[in-house]
Structure formats: structure tokens, C-alpha cells
Structure 1
Amino acid sequence: MKAMIQNPILPGFNPDPSIVRVGDDYYIATSTFEWYPGVQIHHSRDLANWRLVTRPLSRAAQLDMRGDPDSGGIWAPCLTHADGMFWLIYTDVKRRDGAWKDSHNYLVTAPAIEGPWSDPVYLNSSGFDPSLFHDEDGRKWLLNMIWDHNRTGGDRFGGIVMQEYSVEDRRLTGPVRTIYRGTDLKLTEGPHLYRRDGWYYLLTAEGGTGYDHAVTMARAKDLFGPYETDPAKHILTARGTDGLLQRCGHADIVETQDGQVYMVHLCSRPLDETRALPVGDGGIHADDVRRSPLGRETAIQRLDWPTGEFPRLAHGGNAPADTVPCDLPPHPFPEDAPRVTFDGALPPAFQWLRTPQPDRLFSLTDRPGALRIFGRESPGSAFEHALLARRQTALSFRAETTIEVDPGDYQHFAGLIAWYGRFKFHYLAVTADEDGRRVLTVFSCAADWPDARVTYPITPVPLPDGPLQLGCDVDGMTLRFRYRTDGDWTDLGIALDQSAISDEAGNGPGSNFTGAFIGICAHDTSGRGRHADFTDFTYQPLNGGPQVSHG
């Protein structure tokens, strides 16, 4: 009996997967957007069990995202292996709204997946979703979608372009060629190129990253085309379905040691309460009602790819499967402990926002055994925001932390936060009232700019001095905060909308690209940088499904 892989294989915010095999090892690189360090790379031996091994963009020379917008930053990395090296292509998006995009593409390399990763080579800024194709003759070609700001009507995707990369000169060279313009689904992006059976096969994503998302393939005998679209058009899409996996698209293909072919792709899992919506001629409608707090995740499908033909999903049709067979020997990794402490190292699951100067945000040495977070700018800042968080990977979970903080006034606040972006969060904060007395309050912001409003759902609760514990319980659409000073936990008696901490809330799918995080933070809008100390953090999923190891 074959082993079965349960989708998604990378739960929680892990979109735009790029996969490569080196010997018996498989690696997937995914987008991290405004979260630092940039790009997550997971490792597996069996395509079912994965562990985080590195985030390679970890210093200012490689990445500085201060000022990048929410859902800007690192888009759609491409990871390949050739000439004894790993090659990583990535985009840093500085502007994503309006007619223009500022999207700068770079290349870094490393002799091993753990590094050391080089300083970047600048490539171009003509569009996003770059990938590097290593042809059989040794030449290398950069592909990316091109952004056409002159177009109107919402589709400024000008097609897939290609240009040669000179390893010797460390730059792009020669003409830029448009090789494919996509299908009538439009919004053609996410290119990956493969050489197989005398053909060049071009894999793209189409339809935007909402509920019309799809994977399209075309092929040509000549590298430069013309590329003919697969008669079936879309090799994968969840468009018009109401299954577990939705928004399926942006894919990459890998071949196993024994010649089996698999495709990894992004997907989302809308909350049960919002999944079953009417289906119309153009696909699922009322997209703004469906909510996916876990963001865009990574799933896998098995392919049949007969010689000289286009590939097809092994289970038939073009809708995704929830489980996929695999012949590889099982290779599990140790599971993460729910509770972590801060005794000298930041737990691998945690990231921060935008800045390459983490010492400005936090210290693991100022107070041994504690994570000291220095209050910086407000929760709305896109520059210096002292927030450290980990991905929400299950639709229901509990989280807890122990905090020690003595706010001198109401401009200093710190605590536990459920976070999507600067205009979507729920924040259980310790602060002070106008008389300087320590209190517990809740800040909630559940919409996108420019309609965002911070609300205050509770009357501030007086607190005694000393350490206290903060907690939250998420059950699908609902978040409840609690706290404890001595004795039993006290529920604050409010239910907040956790579905608002999702891609679709506010401006709808295709406008937001990350996912829900749960974490700890400190803010000091006076500019004095007053701190808060955290001694532990617990994240405990409360429903089934795969959990990714971070060790």
C-alpha cells in the first residue's frame, strides 16, 4: 500500500513554492513578503514531511525592506541547483499599488543550502516572479512576467519575457524576448521552464491569486517559441469547486529519483463557515465572503507525464487532490515543542518585519533567559516595528506568553498580538492609563486601508505589578483573549473576528498575500524605546493536519 501525503504539505503562510531535488534531498523555497529574514527554504526526503532549514536573505546587503508596503517585499523566489551551486532568484517589491510597480529582481548563490549565501547580483526591475532556467548547453535564461503600466482594465500583465544571464559578466545580456502572452484567463505570471523529450515546457500561473487561480502549460520546440498552449489549457485549478483546497495556482515541478513527477503549488483553505458559496459561470462569486486566515499554503499533486505529451494530474481532471500517493520511504522529523523559551536564541519559527537591524528591535542578551523587545514605532509603521511572530498553521489553536513590563504612560504598550498587517490585527496590550496606572486593554483593527479603524473592545482592566500571562484561543472564525496574574485565567468576555485576519478581508483576494501570525510585540510612540520582557511563548494547534518542523 502506498504512503499518502496529506495536503497542504507546508501549512500556514507559505506561498509561491519553487522546488528542487539534489540527490535524495528536496527543497522548497516560498515567499516571505515583508517578513525578515527573507525566503523560507524547507527540506524533505519523502515529499510529505518537511523542516525549515534556512532563511537565506539575512543581512542588509541582501535585503532591506524598510518602507515596503504590506504584502510587498519578497515575492515568488525561484530555487534551482546547477554547476554545483544553489541559485536563488527573488523580487523585492517596493511599490505594489496603482499603475506602476517597483519590483527589483536579484540573484544570490550558495555552495550548500545552509549557505553561505552571496551578496546579490541585480538583474532587472521589469516585472516580478523571476525564475532561472539552466539549459542543457550550459546557458542560463531569466524569465519573468513584465508589468505593462499602459494597460487598463485590471490586467497589466504584459506576458512572459526572457533574457540571457551571463555568469561571467554577472548581468543580463542580449535582447529581451516576449515568449508567451497567456490565455483568456489573463494575469499570466509565475513562469518556470523545463526541457523534456525535445520540448521546452513553460509552466505559468494565471487568473490572479484569488479563487480563479490556475496553472497553465505551453510548449515549444525552440527556446524562443512559438509556445502553444496545452489543449486542456489549465493543468490545475480549483475554480468552480468547493473542496478543501482553493485558490490553487503558482506551481513548480520536480522529478523523483525513480522518475515519478510531482507538482507543488499554492492553495488556501477557507474557513468551513465560509467555504460553501454559490458557483456561477465565471467561477466562485462573493470572493470577499470567503476567508482564509492561514493565507496561501503549499500543496503537492502527482502528475502523469507520458513521453512527448502534456502532463496531467495522476488522479484525473484538473481539480486538486487532498491526499496524494508517494513511493518514497517515510522520513519524518521531530515535532516542535509547543512551548519555547528565550534562552540565547530566537526560536526558528519566529520572524520580524522589514528591517535588517534586529538589534534595534530586540535583544536576547540584555536580560538572560528573556526576549527583550524595545518599543519602537506604532503598529501602523512600515519602517521600524518591534513585533516578533510565528505563522498560524492550524485553523484552531491556543497561544500564551509571560510578559514583564512597567509602562510609564499610555504611549508605551506591549503584549500578545494576532497579526496580518498594519491594518488587520487584534492586540492584547499592557499599557498605562492617563494616571500612569498599569492596565490591560485590547486594540482591534479589522479592515484594510483607507477604511481601517482601531477599536477598543473593552474597558481597560487594572493590573497589579509583576509578571502576568497573556493568552488567546482561536476557534476558526473566533478569537478570545484571556489573562492571568495569580490563580485561574480570566476571559475578557469578548469574541473577535479572526476571519478578518486573512487575505480576503477588506480589499478581497488578490490584494493581500501573506497570512495570519501570532506573536509578541512592544510599542513606544514617545520615541524613548522603552522595553518589555517575554520569558516564554506557547503555540498549540488544536486540530489535525500536518505541522512543519522548524528545527
Structure 2
Amino acid sequence: MKIKNPVLPGFNADPSFIRVGDTYYIANSTFEWFPGVRLHESKDLIHWTLLPSPLSTTKLLNMVGNPSSGGIWAPDLSYADGKFWLIYTDVKVTEGPFKDATNYLTTSTDIHGPWTDPIVVNGVGFDASLFHDDDGRKYLVQQTWDHREYHHEFNGITLTEFDTSDMHLKPETARTIYDGTDVKLVEGPHLYKINGQYYLFTAQGGTVWTHEEVVSRSKSLEAHSFETEPNGPFITNFDTPDFYIQKQGHGALASTPSGEWYYASLMSRPLNHPTESSHDPMGWCTLGRETSIQKVYWDDQGWPRIVGGHGGQIEVEAPKDAIQTTSSLDHSRHDEFDEKSLNIDWNTLRVPFSHKMGSFGDGKLKLIGQRSLASTFDVSMLAQRWQSFNFDAETKVQFNPFNYQQMAGLVNFYNEKHWSWIYITHDENKGKVIEIAQNDNNNYTSYLKDNSIKIPDTVNYIWFRTKIRKLEYSYEYSFDGITWFSTPVILDAAILSDDYVLQTYGGFFTGAFVGVAAVDYSGYKQTATFDSFDYKELK
């Protein structure tokens, strides 16, 4: 059997990777998207099943007011003492000298929950993880943030003992155990004890093209006691610019029951426009940062190495003791909104779905129009990850606006500054019409304008479809769900990528989503009714 990378396509960044018995688990960052922390499980490292997210209530996660690409950074999932331990960070500031990150701890005896009320751990830095030593002691290991303009912001890796008797840190034990290398930006630490030595895995170089993972080790947990792996880094694609996989680095290590080793890492797959060099720019990763798995061996000096070289492989040998699974690798899905709870593929921004946003069930999703898609508050939108370079997404919607400030339809979304949609709205001369618009770094463009498509008075429902084809995408509409009409608007998918957003400001950590939305910034709460949503991957 072969593992084919990425194993978790689409926005699934910063993997925390563990094994409990014969089952592997990966926890990923979710940033401003709710619910918080994305969980998957597998028994063969090839087929992964999405599990309910642990941070599904505002008691566990309150992101009201969070900036885009704030929220949940690099969660850490571990298992000890008969339960799962989840450390997670809620970042309230992304730009400027401060991060204002709070680290929390929640536990559960079952990966499906329920999860305990959160314990505030500290705010020293983000990317915190919990290390369970073999003597029973526990330690928080974390990136350390330094706001002082005359220091580097990433001030090494701090280790602090955690007292389980009253579940709090012992700050007097805090010490810097590793400073990183001259590459700087040391973060994402995970600590392991293997063959009597402590191995520290850390990311460096920023989560862009220069990203890498380095390994250091020590016989103790004393300050500045870790030495860096020679002939490193452990994994990077900085010097493999033509490889299909890029940006590998931040991740975690796990062993199989029979003693094989694997490393789960974030990765990206850049696309280039036909007129661009493949090296400058390196490309546009519309699917965001995904998860890869590479096989690991240990050299004769006891250092871990990536099988096939530090650039990694697209296809990787699966574990010899893997329990073969036959589930589909296709992420196509269909939703008729018949269930009493939302399908776990759906996400909302910052807050959970509530009656303020709308309702669902009995074959209907009703979205109450609230603020515009350019807002970070009170947005009525449900969205799912792009997980393929080529797919169609379709919805059926009923909406009766009486002013142009009321809109509802099908959206492709990165953040409040970067999105587009096809939607129903009101035109003073034509009445109910279809329009297509894009927000490109807050430069808003209505594409149809005077050519907006009048909806016949006899038509009750409108069908909308978006066709994603690598770096181009388009919108279509239908009045009966059978005959479809294309539009002249072809949009650039690069605008919905981390790499594009990075050109103008620092929040660039998610990926493109597709979904449904309703807006009524006139304040009259006009409601849209969606009958179905379909996402179909194309080979």
C-alpha cells in the first residue's frame, strides 16, 4: 500500500500527529473558522475519516473580534494517563509587535468528546505542546514571543513544568531549551524521548517557501542543552523548487506498533499562471497548507532522516502493520439539510451557527441576512474547504430582496478582503436580478452591472454553480436546475491563496472555501432559503 500526499488535501495545516493503539490521529489548525481544531483518524495512514471538532462551543472557544488568520494556531493532541490532552492557542492579534495569544488545555477520555472546560495555561507564545515524560512529569513546550523591536520576535523554545495535581504551570521552572539556528523563526515544537534521549522537532524559516523542520537532541531538559542535527534540515523544500510538494516543515512524529516511524508535516502545492515563471513567483497555493506524511529512518548516529531525502516523496510506503481501509479518497459530498445537526464539513466564521444566523432541517437551510462579507462580525455564511484543484459546487436558493443591500448566493471565500460570489439582489429598474462580484484586497467590482440578469417573475428558485479549474474559476446559473447558462466572468483563483494575501499584509494562514451566504446590511434581516448544496470533485 502507498500513502499518497497530501493525505489531507485542502486547508489542513500544522498537523499534530499521534497513535493510540492501532489508530492514528491528526489535529490541525482552524484559525478563525468555527468549530475549532480539525480532527481526523486512520488505521493505515492512507484513508482518513473526519471526526467532530473538539472546540464546538463558545465556552471552549470564543473568537468574537478575532482578526482573519487569528484564532486557533497549531493545536497539540497527545494521549497519556488514559485520556486525550489537547493544547490549543487562541491568537487575538496577527499584525504588529504583539500576538496576545492565550494557550488553553482541555481533555477527554474519548476522541469524540465530551471535552472538559478549558484551563488557561499561559500566554508566553503560540504553538504550545504538552510533553509527557516517562517519569510521570509533564512539560509545556512552546514558541516564545518577544515584542521588543530590538530583539527577534521568535525568542527560542521555552519549556515549563506542568503540575497535574492542580493543573497549572510552574513558571519558576521555565527555561529556554533551544534557540534555533540562524534561519530564525523557530516555532512549532514537539518533544519526544526516544532511546533515552530527548528529541526536539521545531519548524523554522516561516511557513512559506523557506519553511523547514530541524531536529535537535539532548540527554537532559536543561537550558540551552539541545544540539542541532548535523547535515540538516530534517525536511524542507527550499532547495527542491521544482518538486510537486512545497513548504514542508511544521509537523509531528509518530511510530507504528511494529516500530516504523512517520512524520506528518504541513505542505502546499503551488500553481502558476501560463505567463509566469515556475520559480518567480513560486506560485499560488489555492488549497492552502495541507498535510503530508513522510517515512522516517534513523541513521547510524541516532538522528532521524526522511526516506528519499529531505524533500520528501509524493508516494510513501505505508506501514507494514497497517490495518487496510477501503473508504473512498474522493471528497465529493452532498447536503439536503435534512439532519438535525449540520454536516461536519460545514464551517462558520468565529462563532457557531445560531438562531441569529438562521436555521436548518426538513430539507431547508435558512440564512438570515446580516452584515456584508467584508465584515468580521455577524456574517451569515456556511462554507467548506476547497479540497481539489478541479471541482464543481452547486446550490439551489430562494430569495426575495427588495433593495440592493440585500444579497444571497454562492460564494468562494478566503477572508473578508478576498472573495467573490454569484448572488440574487434587487435592481431599481429590473427588480430581482443575478449579479457577480469580487472583493480583491477590498477593491470591490460588480461585473455585470447594467447587464445584470433579470430573474423572470415566474421563477421561484435559482440554481447557482461555480466551476473551479486550477487557477481559473467561473459561475453559472439556471432557472430550472436543468438548463444552465454560463457567464462571461472568469476569475483568478490566485486571489484566494495565502501567497496572494501575503503580498499586502501578514494574515495568510488558511485557504479557499466555497459555500452559501446571505447579506442584508440594510438591517431588515431578509432571509434566503437554500434547498441543497453539492460539491463534486473532478479527476
Alignment TM-score > 0.5, same fold: yes
Comparing 268-277 with 521-530, greater Cα deviation is found at: 268-277
1:513 to 509, 513, 530: 509
Q: For 1:262-310, what per-residue CA distance to the aligned partner results, in whole angstroms no more than 9, with x for missing partners?
A: 000000001154798476xxxxx545xx100000000000000257611
Task: Quickly say closer, same or farther: Cα 1:192–1:227, change in 2 above 3 A.
Answer: same
Comparing 302-311 with 405-414, greater Cα deviation is found at: 302-311
Indicate the residue corresponding to 2:446 in structure 1.
456
Indicate the residue corresponding to 2:374 in structure 1.
380
- AA aligned opposite 2:25: Y
C-alpha separation in 1, matches of 2:103 and 2:386: 29
Q: TM-score, normalising length from structure 2? A: 0.94
C-alpha separation in 1, matches of 2:332 and 2:9: 17
Indicate the residue corresponding to 1:528 in structure 2.
524
Q: How far apart are residue 506 of structure 1 and its match?
A: 3.3
Runs of 4+ that moved beyond 4 A: 274-279, 334-337
C-alpha separation in 2, matches of 1:234 and 1:510: 26
- AA aligned opposite 1:462: K
C-alpha separation in 2, matches of 1:274 and 1:88: 44
C-alpha separation in 1, matches of 2:365 and 2:278: 48
Q: Does residue 1:253 correspond to 2:253, yes or no?
A: yes
Instruction: Tell me the SS of whatever aligns to 1:500.
Output: helix
Indicate the residue corresponding to 2:44 in structure 1.
46
Instruction: Tell me the SS of whatever aligns to 1:379.
Output: coil
C-alpha separation in 1, matches of 2:149 and 2:141: 21
2:440 to 432, 446, 449: 446
Does structure 2 conserve the Cα–Cα contact (< 8 Å) formed by 1:85 and 1:109? yes
What are the within-5 Å matches in structure 2 for residues 393-404 of structure 1? Answer: 393-404=387-398
Does structure 1 conserve the Cα–Cα contact (< 8 Å) formed by 2:68 and 2:507? no
Does structure 2 conserve the Cα–Cα contact (< 8 Å) formed by 1:415 and 1:520? yes
Task: Quickly say closer, same or farther: Cα 1:105–1:364, change in 2 above 3 A.
Answer: same
Does structure 1 conserve the Cα–Cα contact (< 8 Å) formed by 2:332 and 2:537? no
Unaligned runs of 5+ in 2: none
Q: How far apart are residue 224 of structure 1 and its match?
A: 2.2
C-alpha separation in 1, matches of 2:324 and 2:155: 43
Task: Quickly say closer, same or farther: Cα 1:493–1:277, change in 2 above 3 A.
Answer: closer
Does structure 2 conserve the Cα–Cα contact (< 8 Å) formed by 1:373 and 1:521? yes
Q: How far apart are residue 145 of structure 1 and its match?
A: 0.6
- AA aligned opposite 1:28: I
C-alpha separation in 2, matches of 1:494 and 1:406: 24
Q: For 1:161-215, what per-residue CA distance to the aligned partner results, in whole angstroms no more than 9, with x for missing partners?
A: 0111111212111322111110011100000000011110000000000000000
Indicate the residue corresponding to 1:496 in structure 2.
491
Indicate the residue corresponding to 1:169 in structure 2.
166
1:88 to 83, 86, 89: 86
Q: Does residue 1:422 correspond to 2:416, yes or no?
A: yes
Does structure 2 conserve the Cα–Cα contact (< 8 Å) formed by 1:410 and 1:436? no
What are the within-5 Å matches in structure 2 for residues 132-151 of structure 1? Answer: 132-151=130-149
- AA aligned opposite 1:364: F
Instruction: Tell me the SS of whatever aligns to 2:500.
Output: coil
C-alpha separation in 1, matches of 2:36 and 2:402: 35
Q: Does residue 1:370 correspond to 2:364, yes or no?
A: yes
Q: Does residue 1:159 correspond to 2:156, yes or no?
A: yes
Q: % of aligned pairs identical?
A: 40
Instruction: Tell me the SS of whatever aligns to 1:57.
Output: coil
Indicate the residue corresponding to 1:361 in structure 2.
357
2:200 to 196, 199, 202: 202
Q: How far apart are residue 158 of structure 1 and its match?
A: 0.7
Q: How far apart are residue 531 of structure 1 and its match?
A: 1.1
Q: Does residue 1:322 correspond to 2:319, yes or no?
A: no
Q: For 1:452-511, what per-residue CA distance to the aligned partner results, in whole angstroms no more than 9, with x for missing partners?
A: 211111132111240010001111111111100035111111111111111111334964
Q: Does residue 1:291 correspond to 2:287, yes or no?
A: no
Task: Quickly say closer, same or farther: Cα 1:278–1:501, change in 2 above 3 A.
Answer: closer
Number of equivalent positions: 526
Does structure 2 conserve the Cα–Cα contact (< 8 Å) formed by 1:444 and 1:454? yes
What are the within-5 Å matches in structure 2 for residues 92-241 of structure 1? Answer: 92-151=90-149, 155-173=152-170, 174-225=172-223, 226-241=225-240
Instruction: Tell me the SS of whatever aligns to 2:494.
Output: helix
Indicate the residue corresponding to 1:549 in structure 2.
none
Does structure 2 conserve the Cα–Cα contact (< 8 Å) formed by 1:129 and 1:191? yes
2:347 to 332, 351, 359: 351
Does structure 2 conserve the Cα–Cα contact (< 8 Å) formed by 1:32 and 1:40? yes
C-alpha separation in 2, matches of 1:172 and 1:83: 18
2:425 to 424, 431, 453: 431
Indicate the residue corresponding to 1:471 in structure 2.
465
Indicate the residue corresponding to 1:282 in structure 2.
none
Does structure 1 conserve the Cα–Cα contact (< 8 Å) formed by 2:144 and 2:154? yes
Q: For 1:510-545, what per-residue CA distance to the aligned partner results, in whole angstroms no more than 9, with x for missing partners?
A: 6400001110011110222221111111111112xx
Does structure 2 conserve the Cα–Cα contact (< 8 Å) formed by 1:157 and 1:187? yes
C-alpha separation in 2, matches of 1:332 and 1:273: 36
C-alpha separation in 1, matches of 2:346 and 2:197: 43
- AA aligned opposite 1:499: A
C-alpha separation in 2, matches of 1:357 and 1:278: 41
Instruction: Tell me the SS of whatever aligns to 1:495.
Output: strand
Does structure 2 conserve the Cα–Cα contact (< 8 Å) formed by 1:105 and 1:125? yes
C-alpha separation in 1, matches of 2:191 and 2:207: 20
Task: Quickly say closer, same or farther: Cα 1:94–1:186, change in 2 above 3 A.
Answer: same
Q: TM-score, normalising length from structure 1? A: 0.92
C-alpha separation in 2, matches of 1:135 and 1:274: 52
- AA aligned opposite 1:297: E
Q: How far apart are residue 54 of structure 1 and its match?
A: 1.6
Q: How far apart are residue 234 of structure 1 and its match?
A: 0.8
